[in-house]
Amino acid sequence: MIYKIGFHKLREDVELPQIQTEGSAGADLVVPDDTYIPPFHSVGHGTLVPLGFSLDIPKGMQVHIMLRSSVGLNTPLRLSNGVGLIDSDYKGEICLLLDNLSKNTVFIKSGTRMAQMVPFCSAKWEFSSIVPHSREKRDKIPIQKRTGGFGSTNRKRSDNE
């Protein structure tokens, strides 16, 4: 099934996001204007980069915005929020919120493919219950306990774990 996402130009010179290869999950997003990103340490916040379009995302879907891997590899720029999440009921202009981790201002040339958008289906969900925090109560719940944390499932387990 192919889902249709509406694309609305807010300016004439804005390019439609392009899926670059048959196997690409995302469509590349282009920065429409020459843009300067000051160092984060000098401004204390991310820099908003408008992309010149809005989306009509079908109900039950969401769009994630991520930097292209080449941007992460070759520049000191990062998305301030890690991944941008665009809900189906957001109708405003799509923007990037960028942090410049270097000590120098970074120039982005108009037409640069900086990020990509990837659509996802959203499941309807809700919390099944709200339980007041109680360590004693939590410790009585039979669960399989495991130790570790960040990256622990990538390590080979020893017989002691």
Q: Where are the domains of the chain?
A: 6-121
Give per-residue pLDDT as tens, 14-72: 989 999 999 999 999 999 999 999 999 999 999 999 999 999 999 999 999 999 999 99
How many C-beta neighbours within 10 Å does residue 55 have? 21
Residue 151 has pLDDT above 80, yes or no: no
Residue 65: closest CA among 82, 49, 48? 82
pTM of the model: 0.79
Q: Over the stretch 81-99, which tens digit does the pLDDT of each residue have?
A: 999 999 999 999 999 999 9
Q: What is the CATH number of domain 6-121?
A: 2.70.40.10
Evaluate whether 38 touches 55 at the Cβ level (below 8 Å).
no
